[in-house]
Amino acid sequence: MPEVSELQAVRHYTNLSRRNFSIDNQFYPLGSCTMKYNPRGAHRVASLPGFTGRHPLAELPASQGFLACLHELQEVLKAATGMAAVSAAPMAGAQGEFAGIAMIRAYHDARGDTERREIIVPDAAHGTNPASAVMCGYVAREVPVGADGDVDFEALKAAVGEQTAGIMLTNPSTCGVFERRIADIADVVHDAGGLLYYDGANLNAILGTARPGDMGFDVLHVNLHKTFATPHGGGGPGAGPVGANERLAPYLPTPMALREGDAFRWLEPADAPDSIGRLSAFAGNAGILLRALAYARMLGRDGMRRVGEFATLNANYLMERLRQAGVELAYPERRASHEFVITFRQEAKEFGISAMDIAKRLLDHGIHAPTTYFPLLVPECFLIEPTETETKEELDAFVAALTQVLGEVRTDPERVKTAPHNLPSARLDDVKAARDLRLVHGAD
């Protein structure tokens, strides 16, 4: 344990903070993470003493304010996703996935339909999808994504059968394109008795324009730290509310807020005997839920639609500018959703430069690197998500910076390979970090 004065501690952590990139300091186009502006007003509201001081097990008379907020958020998320009911209990997207798949299993089990062992996942999906399926006792069966970025429909049809418990899809997908045959996919899976899970990681792209509930999804999660602008906090907290249609609503995790006239109460086990139960000690990441509610109220009906519209506008503009600058697009025939994939396989082949090298050099330009090496099926790729809160000027500056780096790849590749050069640390040795584990200070 350290023994320092208050000033020493404050100075230490203030100085450390200056060694971080953040949305407040830099453009942060991290694909699939939706690094948009986190409104200060939402943070302020969630920090009100009545909210921060409320004990999670406080009696109902001293809980009406919080329960009203939780109930209102559940209603907003129902409307935004087209679902019949929402539970805000899951504490992150991955826990939302777990909840959704556990609900699918509970549904099949309740019908005595216990031979369904597989959850289908596209090979381009987030790693959390197969991991969540396995945690629920399923086998994750991968289906390929075609050259156009859509799921290979024939392969999907061949994979679906009486062993299929369900499918997990992100739409728009992790390839940054809208899954055009989603209605057909829904039919194939439903006809076989399976259910559809919507991974809400990319909901920002279609907020106010299209709803998963209308596409045939039975259950979904929403990443509030993405679409609803709650701060990422250096890797969390998040929040991953789950929504379900009428068929799966009885299985939603607890706790949930219930309204009875003007009063609110918790949903009791007696109200939800089929629930998959609780996934946290109390009511999930309540403070994050409050921030999301404040943001949703500031957006309102039109603001929500504009989120999807301008996120899409920014992505398509940036993609087009990069195409014109000679960058290779992974799916050149497609519209971008709110994000898109580019590949540096030519640079890798010709100059021995990796996508990671380019990412590190972008840091020198004061830009946080896009997501690298995801989706896994595109070699040497970036997944770029500018979000709606960035200006055209910021996007133009990104194009200029990347163009400059790509020029340098040809003129001075060593400079790129050894980047970054202007940061507190030079390139860190992650091989040494893994081979020679030094996980606490002062140990060996």
Of 156 and 369, CB closest to other proteins: 369
Q: Which of residues 384-423 bind other proteins (CB under 8 A)?
A: 388-392, 418, 420, 423
Regarding 316 and contact with other proteins (CB under 8 A), the answer is: yes
Q: Which of 137, 161, 332, 407 binds other proteins (CB under 8 A)?
A: 137
Q: Which of 74, 83, 98, 173 binds other proteins (CB under 8 A)?
A: 98
Regarding 84 and contact with other proteins (CB under 8 A), the answer is: no
Cβ atoms of 93 and 223 closer than 8 Å: yes
Regarding 197 and contact with other proteins (CB under 8 A), the answer is: no
Q: Which of 162, 187, 246, 268 binds other proteins (CB under 8 A)?
A: 268
Q: Which of 54, 190, 259, 345 binds other proteins (CB under 8 A)?
A: 54
Q: Which of 76, 160, 384, 405 binds other proteins (CB under 8 A)?
A: 76
Closest CB 315 distance from other proteins, rounded Å: 9
Of 131 and 192, CB closest to other proteins: 131
Q: Where are the alpha helices (DSSP H) in 39-152?
A: 40-46, 49-52, 64-81, 93-110, 128-135
Cβ atoms of 92 and 131 closer than 8 Å: no
CB atoms within 10 A of CB 262: 7
Choose the binding region for other proteins from 161-169, 242-250, 265-273, 406-414 (rule: CB under 8 A).
265-273
Choose the binding region for other proteins from 39-47, 158-166, 243-251, 405-413 (rule: CB under 8 A).
39-47
Q: DSSP state, 233?
A: T
Cα dihedral 267, 273, 279, 281 in deg (nearest 10):
60
Closest CB 157 distance from other proteins, rounded Å: 19
Regarding 189 and contact with other proteins (CB under 8 A), the answer is: no
Q: Give the Cα separation of 143 and 157 in Å (integer).
A: 10
Q: Give the Cα separation of 272 and 404 in Å (integer).
A: 58
Query: Going by C-beta distance under 8 Å and a sequence separation of 6 or more, which residues neighbour residue 399?
Result: 318, 321, 322, 325
Query: Structure tokens of 58?
Result: 């406080």
Alpha carbon distances (Å) from 36 to 23, 310, 361, 386: 7, 12, 22, 8
Choose the binding region for other proteins from 155-163, 300-308, 340-348, 407-415 (rule: CB under 8 A).
300-308
CB atoms within 10 A of CB 318: 26
The tokens 């996934």 sit on which residue?
279
Query: Structure tokens of 224?
Result: 């509030």
Regarding 326 and contact with other proteins (CB under 8 A), the answer is: no
Closest CB 118 distance from other proteins, rounded Å: 11
Closest CB 40 distance from other proteins, rounded Å: 9
Query: Going by C-beta distance under 8 Å and a sequence separation of 6 or more, which residues neighbour residue 325?
Result: 399, 402, 403, 406
Regarding 442 and contact with other proteins (CB under 8 A), the answer is: yes
Kind of pairing between the strands at 164-170 and 195-200: parallel
Regarding 107 and contact with other proteins (CB under 8 A), the answer is: no
Regarding 237 and contact with other proteins (CB under 8 A), the answer is: yes
Regarding 49 and contact with other proteins (CB under 8 A), the answer is: yes
Regarding 174 and contact with other proteins (CB under 8 A), the answer is: no
Cβ atoms of 352 and 413 closer than 8 Å: yes
Of 3 and 191, CB closest to other proteins: 3
**Residue 82: phi, psi to the nearest 5?**
75, 35
Regarding 114 and contact with other proteins (CB under 8 A), the answer is: no
Query: Going by C-beta distance under 8 Å and a sequence separation of 6 or more, which residues neighbour residue 408?
Result: 361, 415, 416
Q: DSSP state, 424?
A: S
Q: Which of 83, 167, 229, 341 binds other proteins (CB under 8 A)?
A: 229
Q: Which of 84, 152, 280, 348 binds other proteins (CB under 8 A)?
A: 280
Q: Which of residues 328-357 bind other proteins (CB under 8 A)?
A: 334-335
Regarding 117 and contact with other proteins (CB under 8 A), the answer is: no
Query: Going by C-beta distance under 8 Å and a sequence separation of 6 or more, which residues neighbour residue 55?
Result: none
Closest CB 308 distance from other proteins, rounded Å: 8
Q: Which of 108, 221, 365, 368 binds other proteins (CB under 8 A)?
A: 368
